[in-house]
């Protein structure tokens, strides 16, 4: 994988002290049969440049709603979101989303799916081709570049889904349970792949998961949301060196502590 990436794309930009994403007092009510249902209440947190933040909490606590608001797909009832100090009001190229279910174009090959977004942004065919090669290698799919989505596995599809948004180099990558439909081993492989890619590219990532082990494996910081109240229950830095292994004593200790906040 080394040598695949240009020098300027390495983690030199990373600066957790400099906020890439700032969320302040974000509140969301849904109107159901004339009654306001509160889902998010005064959610406030930051993500530094190059930080991996995991948002976790029980089913229904508002994780997907929060991510949809960050993506600009949903409007908040109150509060502000800034990306690189610019307010967010609608979807934009500074934020890309990877969903749980693959959203690949079924009639396009792996290569064409990865090229799709960048093709709309550049007329330079040489540059486009090189970039696609680079990201195919990064996610280990060069051999499968001419396959259609129906001819590859679920894990491979999610690699394509990740490569095709990373190639656009968004400021913030938003991921909503992207590995939830994968089997245990594939899921672990994808977590390792994501950490490797993230450490190479220095992307800011907001990763939603209800799986505590996934959050501990991936995150620099974990934000725990509370179901019912819509508050942030706790924010915890993960003080464990990478790679993180579930059998390490420190890992188990941290897991127990995190579990108390769910």
Ligand X SMILES: Nc1ncnc2c1ncn2[C@@H]1O[C@H](COP(=O)(O)OP(=O)(O)OP(=O)(O)O)[C@@H](O)[C@H]1O
Q: Which residues bind ligand X (CB under 6 A)?
A: 30, 32, 37, 39, 59-65, 210
Question: Which residue number, 14 or 225, has a Cβ lying nearer to Mg ion?
Answer: 225
Question: Which residue number, 65 or 203, has a Cβ lying nearer to ligand X?
Answer: 65
**DSSP H or E stretch at residue 176:** strand 172-176
- With a CB cutoff of 8 Å and minimum separation 6, the contacts of 25 are 42, 43, 44, 78, 79, 80
**CA atoms within 13 A of residue 143's CA, in its CB half-sphere:** 3
Name which of ligand X, Mg ion, none residue 249 binds, using a CB cut-off of 5 to 8 Å depending on partner kind: none
Question: Quick one: tokens of 20?
Answer: 């890439």
Cα torsion 129, 134, 140, 144 to 10°: value is 0
Question: Which residue number, 64 or 204, has a Cβ lying nearer to Mg ion?
Answer: 64
**DSSP H or E stretch at residue 205:** strand 204-208
Q: Output the smallest distance, CB 180 to Mg ion, in A.
A: 9
Strand 52-56 and strand 204-208: pairing?
parallel
List, in sequence order, the alpha helices (H) in 51-124: 63-71, 110-119
Q: Output the smallest distance, CB 175 to Mg ion, in A.
A: 11
Name which of ligand X, Mg ion, none residue 121 binds, using a CB cut-off of 5 to 8 Å depending on partner kind: none
Question: Which residue number, 57 or 149, has a Cβ lying nearer to Mg ion?
Answer: 57
Name which of Mg ion, ligand X, none residue 60 binds, using a CB cut-off of 5 to 8 Å depending on partner kind: ligand X
Indicate the SS3 state at residue 248: coil
Question: Quick one: tokens of 163?
Answer: 């490569």
Check binding of 217 to Mg ion (CB under 5 A): no
Name which of ligand X, Mg ion, none residue 30 binds, using a CB cut-off of 5 to 8 Å depending on partner kind: ligand X
Q: Output the smallest distance, CB 209 to ligand X, in A.
A: 9
Question: Quick one: tokens of 11?
Answer: 């983690």
User: Per-residue x/- mask for Mg ion, residues 62 to 101, rule CB under 5 A?
Assistant: -xx-------------------------------------
Q: Which of the ranges 18-26, 61-69, 71-79, 229-237 carries the binding residues for Mg ion, by CB under 5 A?
A: 61-69
Question: Which residue number, 64 or 109, has a Cβ lying nearer to Mg ion?
Answer: 64
In whole angstroms, what is the distance from residue 193 CA to residue 139 CA?
Answer: 7
Q: Which residues of the chain form contacts with Mg ion (CB under 5 A)?
A: 63-64
């Amino acid at each position: 994988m080394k040598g695949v990436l240009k020098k300027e794309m390495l983690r030199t930009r990373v600066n957790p002290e400099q906020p890439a994403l700032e969320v302040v007092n974000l509140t969301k009510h849904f109107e159901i049969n004339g009654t306001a249902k509160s889902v998010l209440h005064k959610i406030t947190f930051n993500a530094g440049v190059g930080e991996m933040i995991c948002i976790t909490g029980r089913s229904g606590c508002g994780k997907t709603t929060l991510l949809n608001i960050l993506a600009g797909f949903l409007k908040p009832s109150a509060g502000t979101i800034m990306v690189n100090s610019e307010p967010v009001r609608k979807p934009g190229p500074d934020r890309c989303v990877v969903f749980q279910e693959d959203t690949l174009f079924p009639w396009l090959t792996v290569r064409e799916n990865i090229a799709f977004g960048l093709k709309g942004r550049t007329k330079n065919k040489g540059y486009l081709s090189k970039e696609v090669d680079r990201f195919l290698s990064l996610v280990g799919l060069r051999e499968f570049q001419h396959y259609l989505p129906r001819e590859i596995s679920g894990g491979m599809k999610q690699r394509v889904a990740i490569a095709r948004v990373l190639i656009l180099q968004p400021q913030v990558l938003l991921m909503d349970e992207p590995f939830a439909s994968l089997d245990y081993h594939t899921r672990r492989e994808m977590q390792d792949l994501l950490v490797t890619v993230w450490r190479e590219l220095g992307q800011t990532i907001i990763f939603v998961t209800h799986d505590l082990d996934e959050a501990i494996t991936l995150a620099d910081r974990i934000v725990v949301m509370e179901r019912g109240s819509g508050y942030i229950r706790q924010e915890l830095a993960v003080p464990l060196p990478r790679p993180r292994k579930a059998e390490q004593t420190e890992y188990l200790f941290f897991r127990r502590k995190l579990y108390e906040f769910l």
